[in-house]
Chains A and B, each alone.
Chain A
């Protein structure tokens, strides 16, 4: 009996060792602070902002998103043109790369998820369900809080 227990404990130790030894491979995406600005109904488009962190060992990329609250979703960025004018364009290549070990900020006046043909009112306190599509990590469902920007 004692021998069996010893064997069992030994096997457990081996499994634990194996778990420790092999680093998790691939990307590991963490989404934080997802929010959107309140906007009037006549504003057909809205923007979502968030912090995307890749704690993994491999690059990943945000390639799109879906939500019942939006007719269509596109990944856009605002940028300053020559002469100080502001422009907005779909992100180059249609994706936002999240390099391994790095953090990418989607923020006002920069990268954002554009919600076209809003289906709901973006009132403060509203929670919008959003499914983010990543190249490698697949679908990640999140909740976007509609609130006023903090200074």
Chain B
């Protein structure tokens, strides 16, 4: 009988310990981001480009999380795929979505006017912002953010297409580059990372 009681104390004690350990690990383990984490000491380079409602600077959005995407409106496959995932992320974020600003920078200033980029991105989500600039301005911003793009003439009706880095750059509330999402990151994963950044 006494032996039996010892057995049950040990048994329940072990269970409690394991449970506590699991809880603590789950509670205190570092969050694992889906995107690639960047630790930079320098704030994200500021820029001013033209939107449909006048000039817009990155620094205008300090206090919000900014998602930068470089694309172009003639792009029928890659850009809408990414913008659809960003739209999905906004849906998942719900009320927190107003703490996130998506900005698409056109890498095709020849064809994309500020109005055209704006109409394009708004189709995906009403608060998305589209900006463009002179070819020199675009080149400068793209270089600062490590974005490659290249105009390539192709045979056929398209005239030319743009090859471009299709990643999404996340600038945190304090204006530092925090994350990079590769092409094809699901909207749910993007939302989870942004939710963590909003809450911490």
Q: Would A40 and B184 count as touching, CB distance under 8 A? A: no
Q: Would A84 and B165 count as touching, CB distance under 8 A? A: yes
Q: Is A88 an interface residue (CB 8 A)?
A: yes
Q: Determine the distance from Cα of A72 to Cα of B159 in the docked complex, in whole angstroms.
A: 12
Q: Is A7 an interface residue (CB 8 A)?
A: no
Known: A42-B73, A109-B184. A90 touches B81 (CB 8 A): no
Please name all residues of chain A whose beta carbon is closer than 8 Å to the beta carbon of B155 when the two chains form the complex.
90
Q: Would A88 and B73 count as touching, CB distance under 8 A? A: no
Q: Would B81 and A39 count as touching, CB distance under 8 A? A: no
Interface residue count on the A side (C-beta < 8 Å)? 36
A46: nearest chain-B partner, CB-CB: B76
Q: Would A88 and B78 count as touching, CB distance under 8 A? A: yes
Q: Is A67 an interface residue (CB 8 A)?
A: no
Which of A41, A42, A115, A148 meets B76, CB within 8 Å?
A115
Q: Is B88 an interface residue (CB 8 A)?
A: yes
Please name all residues of chain A whose beta carbon is closer than 8 Å to the beta carbon of B99 when the two chains form the complex.
none
Please name all residues of chain B whose beta carbon is closer than 8 Å to the beta carbon of A45 when the two chains form the complex.
74-76, 158
Q: Which of B142-161 contact A (CB under 8 A)?
A: 148-149, 152, 154-158, 161
Segment of A18-26, A52-60, A75-83 engaged in the interface with chain B:
A75-83
Please name all residues of chain B whose beta carbon is closer than 8 Å to the beta carbon of A78 when the two chains form the complex.
77-78
Q: Which of B56-99 contact A (CB under 8 A)?
A: 73-78, 80-81, 84, 88
Please name all residues of chain B whose beta carbon is closer than 8 Å to the beta carbon of A115 when the two chains form the complex.
76
Which of A41, A46, A87, A149 meets B161, CB within 8 Å?
A87
Please name all residues of chain A whose beta carbon is closer than 8 Å to the beta carbon of B47 when the two chains form the complex.
none
Q: Is B7 an interface residue (CB 8 A)?
A: no
Segment of B18-26, B116-124, B168-176 engaged in the interface with chain A:
B116-124
Please name all residues of chain A whose beta carbon is closer than 8 Å to the beta carbon of B88 when the two chains form the complex.
151
Q: Is B183 an interface residue (CB 8 A)?
A: yes
What is the minimal beta-carbon distance from A149 to any residue of chain B, in angstroms?
A: 6
Q: Would B74 and A37 count as touching, CB distance under 8 A? A: no
Q: Is A129 an interface residue (CB 8 A)?
A: no
Please name all residues of chain A whose beta carbon is closer than 8 Å to the beta carbon of B74 when the two chains form the complex.
43-45
Please name all residues of chain B whose beta carbon is closer than 8 Å to the beta carbon of A145 when the two chains form the complex.
none
Q: Would B119 and A151 count as touching, CB distance under 8 A? A: no
Please name all residues of chain B whose beta carbon is closer than 8 Å to the beta carbon of A148 when the two chains form the complex.
84
Q: Which of A45-72 contact B (CB under 8 A)?
A: 45-47, 71-72
Residue positions of B touching A, CB distance < 8 A: 73-78, 80-81, 84, 88, 116, 119-120, 122-123, 148-149, 152, 154-158, 161, 163-167, 182-184, 186-187
Residue positions of A touching B, CB distance < 8 A: 37-47, 71-72, 74, 76, 78, 80-81, 83-90, 108-109, 112, 114-117, 148-149, 151
A-B pairs with lowest CB-CB distance, top 10: A40-B123, A87-B163, A72-B157, A45-B76, A86-B166, A47-B76, A42-B119, A85-B165, A86-B78, A108-B81
